[in-house]
Structure 1
Amino acid sequence: MLKKFVCIICPNGCEISAELEEGRIISVQGAGCSRGQEYVRQELINPVRNIASSVLLEGGALPLASVRLSNPVPKSRIFDVMDEIKKAKLTAPVSIGQTVIHNVLGLGSDVIVTKNISAH
């Protein structure tokens, strides 16, 4: 089976083809660098994603605090992680890097604040 990808690792956007046989990677062609090859292999074996979102902020200069994950999580768990993020609430002030949820769902990634927001 032939699968095609457009690499998102750098601005070159290489068109990469991967040949699979019985669930095994036979070949990867078209990558302009080793990072592109690794990206495609990761996508085929265990695709992961990072999430950026926001959390309700009480008593802050802004109503929401922007957050992101400290490490990517399995693509199949994105909606589960978002459900946990939706439950979270913070009280101002908040600081960049502040942990909102430690080790969300046991996936080895923290939900962290990405912007300093003062109390109002």
Structure 2
Amino acid sequence: MDKKEMVCIVCPLGCRLTVTKNDDEYTVTGNKCNRGKEYAIKEMTNPTRVLTTTVRIKDGLLNRIPVKTNKPVPKDKIFECMQIINSIEVQAPIKMGEIIIKDILGTGADIVASRSMIKQIG
């Protein structure tokens, strides 16, 4: 029997959850809603995260532009995603929501610009 405690991050309540695994079945206690139960089981079986970071930008008003995944990616692929993201440079101008990398590592998630960046004049 495995047991893990965690705090649910799905809603502002921040329930303290206890997840117990017996064989292949999970039991969740401490949740005040079904979303907490779903979150806890997902955290135990296939944790995912939305990745937020920055990308180098050429000829931009600033030298980096914020980006994020448009959906969560598997937690164990985050470092691989970062290696790819850190290896690229985009060209200004960029519009918020513009896809920077399509379907990173075959996860189905796109890396998109979190803000617009104009081209630096002069």
- When normalised by structure 2's length, the TM-score is 0.93
Q: RMSD of the TM alignment (CA)? A: 0.9
The structural deviation recorded for 1:23 is: 4.0
> Equivalents in 1 of 2:22, 2:35: separation in Å?
23
Task: Give the aligned partner of residue 36 of structure 2.
Answer: 36
Task: Give the aligned partner of residue 101 of structure 2.
Answer: 101
Q: Is the 8 A contact 1:88 1:100 kept in 2?
A: no
> Equivalents in 1 of 2:24, 2:79: separation in Å?
26
The structural deviation recorded for 1:88 is: 1.5
AA of the residue aligned to 2:88: A
> Equivalents in 2 of 1:34, 1:42: separation in Å?
12
AA of the residue aligned to 2:114: T
- Superposition map of 1:1-120 within 5 A: 1-25=2-26, 27-120=27-120
> Equivalents in 2 of 1:39, 1:58: separation in Å?
39
Identity, % of aligned pairs? 33
Unpaired runs of 5+ residues, structure 1, are: none
The structural deviation recorded for 1:22 is: 2.5
The structural deviation recorded for 1:21 is: 1.4
Secondary structure, aligned partner of 2:80: helix
Secondary structure, aligned partner of 1:65: strand
Runs of 4+ in 1 over 2 A off after TM superposition: none
AA of the residue aligned to 2:3: L
AA of the residue aligned to 2:10: I
Q: How many aligned residue pairs are there?
A: 119
- When normalised by structure 1's length, the TM-score is 0.95
> Equivalents in 2 of 1:23, 1:17: separation in Å?
16
